[in-house]
Structure 1
Amino acid sequence: MAEKQIILTEEGLRKLEEKLEHLKTVRRHDVAERIKQAIDFGDISENSEYEDAKNEQAFIEGEILTLEKMLRNAKLIDENAVGIDIVTVGSTVILKDMEFGDELEYTIVGSAEADPSEFKISNESPVGEAIIGQKVGSVVEVNVPAGILKYEVLNIKRA
């Protein structure tokens, strides 16, 4: 089975590379120091500090492997090629909530970059899936656990 492609913007790629570098240089070193100090305390068979540090080391190494795999499978979005006629990954979209009249602005990104607190939603999320391929003026219905949401696409621009 082929590995899943990870869709990233240039900013998302940079953030993943920075996180990987931080894990490899800073966090690896910090946890190695913790392990060394715990060993210096003597008997490691009943040393909870040693166990905690080894668990953290395993977590960091797992995260490094995950990030390396993501970067290997990364597909960079050419942000200059993102059109403004239909919603695609890399688009910033202004939606109107048809029930409440609120306007919402989201940037559509790959799942690895999604961060609702920064109004970046995944192309795989219910709203992202519903608006991909839509044009200005389109009305979409989104099935969510709370029911059905209706949005009108008001504007599409480059992120």
Structure 2
Amino acid sequence: MTPFAVQVLVGIVAAASLVLGLYNLWFAKQAPVRERQRELEDEVREKLTEVLHAVDAEMVIIKRGEYKRETVPPEISATSESIRKIAPRLIEPGLVWRTKNAADMLFLLSSQWSPVASDHKYPDQTNDRRKAANEESLKEFLLQCRPSLDELVTLLVKREQGK
């Protein structure tokens, strides 16, 4: 190998080292941001998982005809509000949109739940047909919105696992 070829090779290695060093510096500076995003994503995932379990438990009670609660489960509106506040702090636009969509779905779920709860709050002013229609409407809405909520939870689980 000629001295000129060695110098060219050394120059290429030096340039590659400089580029790699700059990339490592940038990557290290972004570590706190990535960590905070992971924490926010975990918080959204945990809240959604908890509210979905609570909704499932309440739906089982409704299906058995034993629902007696006079108010909408507070977990639904609390989760909707909290993930709506978290959404703007996320960096990835797709995740922001999905989180806002999930918050909207939970808000709509609580509004669909309201007639079912009021049927039990004022039992003298309702009849069995209206009560059954309200419960059926709630079940149908839950069947429509559940896949998108489950999709967001699955996406967040995959991101946590690094996939």
Asked whether the two chains share a fold, i.e. TM above 0.5, the reply is: no
Question: Larger radius of gyration, structure 1 or 2?
Answer: 2
Say which structure is richer in helix. Answer: 2
Say which structure is richer in strand. Answer: 1
What TM-score does the superposition give when structure 2 sets the normalisation length?
0.29
What TM-score does the superposition give when structure 1 sets the normalisation length?
0.30
